[in-house]
Amino acid sequence: MKALVVDDDLALADVVSFTLRKAGYEVIMAHDGLVALDRWRSETPDIIILDLNLPKLDGLGVCRQIRAQADTPIVVLSVRGEENDIVAMLQLGADDYIV
């Protein structure tokens, strides 16, 4: 199984990637929203771990574009814990939201 980890915080992305590898996932990383979309298209991951605060295209835009084309599971992992952020992402089609 493949996981796409999308986060501009390199240290956090490394920790999440390490954990997923230990669980048996092949991990692909992206550090901005545009690269995330490119990697999603080329690698067809089984799950996406997505941050909201990304350069070039934020997590909302990434989620919106993926949901327009596929139902790949998306788990948002973000420091933004405001109710409106959580509701917006779930309404866009994120499968879960972890603060």
What confidence category does residue 80 fall into, taking pLDDT thresholds of 50, 70 and 90?
confident
**Number of other residues whose CB lies within 10 A of the CB of residue 69:** 10
The answer to whether 37 and 65 have CB atoms below 8 angstroms apart is yes
- pLDDT tens-digit readout, 5-51: 999 999 999 999 999 999 999 999 999 999 999 999 999 999 999 99
The answer to whether 78 and 59 have CB atoms below 8 angstroms apart is yes
pLDDT(52) > 90: yes
Predicted TM-score (pTM) of the model is 0.94
